[in-house]
Structure 1
Amino acid sequence: MTREAARTTDGPASIVALEQLFPAGKRLLDDDLILRIVPWSIRIWTIILAPAWLRDGMFWFFEKLTPGVWALFPCRKRYIQEKAEDAVSHRIRAVVNLGAGLDTLVFRSQVLASLPAWEVDQPVNVAAKRKGLERALGKWPDRVTQVAVDFDHEDLSQKLRNAGYEGNEPTLFVLEAVTQYLTEDGIASTFDFLSKAPTGSRLLFTYVKQSFLDGDDIGDLKMIYKSTVQKGIWHFGLNPETVADFLAPFGWEVVAHESSEEIAARYIPATGRTIRTMPIEPVVYAVKR
């Protein structure tokens, strides 16, 4: 995973932070913690854009520039939280968030609060997350362990073992907005690690549609395509119809597989907002057999 990929963690966090400027009933995701852990470069914008007319102006500009990106992140995070909490009802005993960035899942969910968790990411992101959380909470929570790793070049399994993760109980694994940044070697090593997960473990991961990476289905996302695919930042994609076949050799079976449009349709109507989502990143929920 490249240095450029590591820098992308601030983008989703900034959108989720700005989403908190909407009134409670209008938000796509409630996340009180995110405003307190993002860097000052993002926090200052939440102050500047606090007036509703400025907030709405920024939203309009963002939608014109990158259609659907704003709704993608909060809707997806809300969906992932719901599925993660469902996993707990299936006797999950630990959480491993691969590529955690500034995501607050294991902190904001009361259902996950009793579980030990490991957050894995590149060293620069691990350091930024710790700085923000300690500033917000006073100290880093003992139940959450950070693990610094390069997915493309280091042994994920060994890194987690060294950090105290034994891997002998059903675990929830989360890979949100990670797979597209990995090389073939990174994908192979990551899913080889996941193939050894205990039976009953759960997996939540997102992927970019291969048709977008191939340039066949760009639509009005030309700016996104140029800044990710053409610059060599996104590498890996899947065709929706082949996801089950991709997972099967690793011992995983699809439980739910929803497009970003289907996920957005769960949450947007209740807000009364006229907003769409970027249609290129589905979410897969799977169980280890």
Structure 2
Amino acid sequence: MASGETRTAVGAAVMRAIEGRARQPLFDDPLAERLLTGWTAVMVRNRALRSAFLRLLNRVGPGFYGAVVCRTRVIDDACRDALAAGLRQVVILGAGMDTRPYRMPAMSQARVWELDLPAVQAEKKAALARVLPEAATHVRYAPIDLTVQTVGDVLAQAGADLSVPTLLLCEAVTMYVPDSAVDRLFSFTGTLARGSRVVLTYLPAAVRDDPHHAGWAQRLSWRSAFDPPEVARRLAEQGLRVRADLGAEEYQVRLLRPLGRTLDVFAGERVVIAG
């Protein structure tokens, strides 16, 4: 039986695949749909089933789909910007079914390290083996359990060169691990080489503490949350300047309205870009 983490990773891939079928998609991720098998693959390819799934998802978690696909676009843009600036090493923490190393041409020129739990990585490797004609030689995998290991130690043991500027991606991770793990993650960002960039998502403390979101908190097992000024302060303590901190309101203005799209977006996750 798949672990909860594996189901979460596949669930994000399902939403990216559905977005690929939108009339005006926020991003291009053709690989997401190809990674799916079984009922999820059937559902994504069938318009009626897709619509029924999205209606159900929006009843259970209003705005969750919008939050996932909007954050995907924001992080895609941040990746392109960092790679265009010359960064040639990428670390993806909690990589799940992230397809960026395989679908973004600029990332194929970088050395990529994917870090996640062993079970999730096994599922990912099996899925990629089904759909890619050959292994991606620029990607390396290193298993990690953030509750007991530090990112720096794992990368050092795996052979990563942290003396070079690095793009660190941490998508949908911090809210699901204890504060001690997030503390170690922030400390690690301070060891990155000058010129590095950090892109991470976090749960606003105001959302976590709002009783209207108690159902979300229980359903998603939230553990850590921060106010935006606290995130900026903690990154500044590590020598990193916040370039952008985006959430539901910014997604509506910058991403959805220009496309004429009406999409609910849950405010329970923000993306911060620093460097």
The structural deviation recorded for 1:64 is 2.5
Aligned to 2:27: 29
Aligned to 1:9: 9
The structural deviation recorded for 1:89 is 2.8
Query: Which runs of 5 or more residues in structure 1 are unaligned?
Result: none
* Structure 2 residue 89 is the aligned partner of structure 1 residue 86: no
The structural deviation recorded for 1:222 is 5.1
Q: Is the 8 A contact 2:244 2:273 kept in 1?
A: yes
Alignment of 1:197-236 (within 5 A): 197-214=192-209, 216=210, 218=212, 221=213, 223-228=215-220, 233-236=221-224
* Structure 2 residue 260 is the aligned partner of structure 1 residue 272: yes
Percent identity over the alignment is 30
C-alpha separation in 2, matches of 1:283 and 1:239: 12
Q: Residue type matched to 1:240 in 2?
A: P
Alignment of 1:9-88 (within 5 A): 9-23=9-23, 26-47=24-45, 50-51=46-47, 53-88=48-83
C-alpha separation in 2, matches of 1:154 and 1:41: 35
Alignment of 1:91-240 (within 5 A): 91-214=86-209, 216=210, 218=212, 221=213, 223-228=215-220, 233-240=221-228
Kindly provide the CA deviation profile for residues 78-104 of structure 1, in whole angstroms up to 9, marking residues without a partner as x.
111111111123221210010010011
Note closer, same or farther for the CA distance 1:271–1:255 as it changes in structure 2 (3 Å cut).
Answer: closer
Kindly provide the CA deviation profile for residues 36-67 of structure 1, in whole angstroms up to 9, marking residues without a partner as x.
113434213223xx23x443333233222211
Q: Is the 8 A contact 1:130 1:140 kept in 2?
A: no
Counterpart secondary structure, 1:174: strand
C-alpha separation in 2, matches of 1:153 and 1:12: 25
TM-score by length of 1: 0.87
Q: Is the 8 A contact 1:17 1:34 kept in 2?
A: yes
Aligned to 1:248: 236
Q: Is the 8 A contact 1:122 1:149 kept in 2?
A: yes
The structural deviation recorded for 1:217 is 5.8
The structural deviation recorded for 1:264 is 3.8
Q: Residue type matched to 2:243 in 1?
A: V
C-alpha separation in 2, matches of 1:224 and 1:41: 25
* RCO comparison, higher one (Cα < 8 Å, 6+): 1
What is the root-mean-square deviation in Å for CA atoms of aligned residues? 1.9
C-alpha separation in 2, matches of 1:64 and 1:265: 24
Q: Residue type matched to 1:105 in 2?
A: R
